[in-house]
């Protein structure tokens, strides 16, 4: 079944939560009975580096992964190649927890790939952490992958019927097996990757490290970001430009949807045989929520896109108020945009505890009301007696937003108007985002006014689907989670839980 983190969710008071739960008909429970988090997660982030002078590079990957930590907090790992020998270290936890100076010092090599993970397909266990290191007749490969394949289950079953033995439950191992299989009859790893791409469908930004090269590939729809940079004698490939900035690398360009690049001692070469096969379908939620605001994806500033989303909200859903506030961190830029467009002052209403990890002790039933305050607290002197516009990036099940509205009212806000910088979620995602099935999405079975009442808000406004293109300068994107218009046919079995859909 689908996995969810053990981290506690923000809660309403017990009485109000019971109303929401009753309205949702007690849906949205995992098999073990833990609550689904009312927030979204990207599946993972990838980072690779190749030093042309033969110098150790693991530290670069460590810092690159640290800057991509927002893309996955469950596990991480680094694989390095030195003298045709690939070694790796991976474990559950944050980058700063998993990698110590001692185990980093053991990772010698001038080529390296790394990964941070949040599980949307496959269990959250050490065996499913990446990189996946595969030994086969031609040698050894290390693979890291961001995204989900829609045909992973079918491919896996077909491979198993032909004798394949899998060690993990993640679709990334299907890719690894296909690449290794194709490599046996190919002249190079990059040719094997190109052949494997004929079979895999869905979202993938992929790095494949063989002993003397890195091959990077972005799926033909361009669902997930992937970019190339360079600093002095080191090439870098990463999920986001913020990771390039962290290691001081200069941005060269984004990989095109469908492009394969290979980095060797001779530099970078490109294979565009899968480019322009389909209309691009970049994940719009990279711009709304997932990516760090200081990143630039496909020539569009993430920060600027969120400012624009706030401006659009102010145009579409104006209201008289005293202050605009953002729910940290992803709501802040949109709140600034709303303020700039409306002329209503932007202010701070929340203090976020940035030191809360994903494993903090879950409060008992009697302490549900306090669990939100572990992560977030209200600046009472800033909101007391004021009409507040609260801007957030999304509403999934509604419990988080309802909690925060309650907190603002308890702090003395006279009115709370909620503005959401995305349209209502109505459909699940199969491409690497853990948007749950439709029956768990509050917007799928409630009107906007019903949602407003459940949140306890004075008004509620969402970003209009028809205006999302203004956020990203008419860039082509996937909006299936809002519209149900999937660029690739959804799987007959849910790859996030291997169940019939």
DSSP per-residue string spanning 443-499: GGSS-HHHHHHHHT-SEEEE--GGGGGGTTTT--EE-HHHH---SSPPPSEETTTTE
Which segments of 268-318 does DSSP mark as H helices, in order? 285, 302-316
Quick count: other Cβ atoms within 10 Å of Cβ 114? Answer: 35
> DSSP label at 428?
-
160-188 burial by CB neighbour count: b if 16+ within 10 A, else e?
Answer: eeeebeeebbbbbbbbbbbbbbbbeebee
The secondary structure of residue 42, as a DSSP letter, is B
Tokens of 243: 């990771």
What span, in angstroms and rounded, lies between the C-alpha atoms of 9 and 36?
A: 8
Helix extents (H) in 324-435: 332-342, 368-375, 380-383, 399-410
Burial of 493 (0-12, 13-18, 19+ CB in 10 A): middle
Residue 268's nearest CA partner among 307, 311, 237 is: 237
CA neighbours within 13 Å on the CB side: how many for 395?
A: 28
Q: What are phi and psi of 8, to 5 degrees?
A: -65, 150
Q: Contact at 8 Å (CB) between 53 and 426?
A: no
Find the helix packing angle between 171-183 and 189-196, rounded to 10°. 130
- Judge contact between 337 and 311, C-beta under 8 A: yes
| Cα–Cα distances in angstroms (integers) from residue 54 to residues 64, 102, 233, in the given order | 19, 21, 9
DSSP string computed for 310-323: HHHHHHHS----SE
- Catalytic, 76? Answer no
Q: Which of 44, 242, 275, 429 is catalytic?
A: 44
Q: Which residues are catalytic?
A: 44
């Amino acid at each position: 079944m689908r996995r969810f983190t053990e981290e506690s969710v923000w809660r309403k008071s017990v009485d109000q939560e019971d109303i929401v739960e009753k309205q949702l008909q007690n849906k949205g429970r995992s098999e073990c009975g833990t609550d689904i988090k009312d927030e979204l997660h990207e599946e993972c982030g990838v980072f690779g580096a190749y030093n042309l002078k033969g110098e150790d590079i693991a530290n670069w990957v460590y810092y690159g992964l640290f800057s991509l930590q927002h893309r996955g907090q469950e596990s991480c790992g680094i694989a390095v190649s030195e003298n045709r020998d690939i070694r790796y270290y991976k474990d559950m936890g944050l980058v700063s927890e998993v990698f110590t100076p001692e185990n980093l010092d053991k990772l010698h090599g001038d080529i390296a790939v790394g990964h941070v993970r949040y599980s949307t397909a496959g269990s959250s266990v050490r065996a499913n952490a990446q990189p996946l290191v595969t030994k086969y007749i031609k040698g050894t490969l290390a693979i890291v992958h961001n995204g989900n394949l829609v045909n992973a289950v079918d491919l896996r079953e077909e491979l198993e019927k032909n004798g394949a033995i899998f060690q993990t439950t993640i679709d990334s191992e299907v890719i690894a097996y296909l690449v290794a299989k194709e490599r046996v009859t190919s002249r190079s790893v990059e040719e094997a990757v190109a052949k494997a791409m004929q079979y895999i469908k869905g979202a993938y930004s992929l790095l494949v490290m063989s002993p003397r090269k890195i091959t990077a590939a972005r799926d033909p729809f361009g669902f997930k970001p992937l970019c190339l940079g360079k600093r002095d004698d080191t090439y870098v490939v990463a999920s986001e430009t913020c990771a390039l900035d962290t290691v001081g690398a200069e941005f060269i360009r984004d990989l095109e949807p469908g492009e394969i690049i290979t980095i060797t001692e001779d530099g970078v070469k490109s294979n565009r045989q899968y480019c322009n096969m389909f209309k691009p379908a970049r994940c719009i939620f990279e711009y709304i929520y997932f990516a760090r605001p200081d990143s630039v994806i496909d020539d569009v500033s993430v920060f600027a896109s969120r400012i624009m989303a706030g401006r659009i909200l102010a145009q579409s859903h104006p209201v008289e108020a005293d202050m605009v506030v953002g729910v940290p961190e992803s709501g802040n830029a949109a709140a600034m945009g709303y303020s700039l467009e409306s002329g209503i002052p932007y202010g701070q209403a929340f203090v976020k505890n940035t030191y809360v990890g994903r494993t903090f002790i879950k409060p008992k039933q009697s302490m549900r009301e306090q669990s939100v305050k572990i992560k977030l607290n209200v600046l009472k002197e800033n909101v007391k007696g004021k009409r507040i516009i609260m801007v957030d990036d999304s509403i999934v099940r509604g419990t988080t937003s309802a909690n925060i509205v309650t907190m603002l009212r308890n702090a003395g806000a006279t009115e709370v108007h909620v503005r959401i910088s995305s349209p209502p979620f109505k459909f699940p995602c199969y491409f690497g985002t853990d948007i749950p099935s439709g029956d768990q999405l509050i917007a799928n079975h409630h009107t906007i006014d019903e949602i407003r009442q459940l949140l306890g808000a004075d008004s509620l406004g969402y970003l209009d689907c028809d205006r999302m293109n203004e956020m990203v300068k008419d860039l082509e994107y996937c909006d299936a989670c809002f519209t149900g218009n999937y660029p690739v046919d959804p799987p007959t079995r849910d790859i996030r839980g291997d169940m019939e859909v």
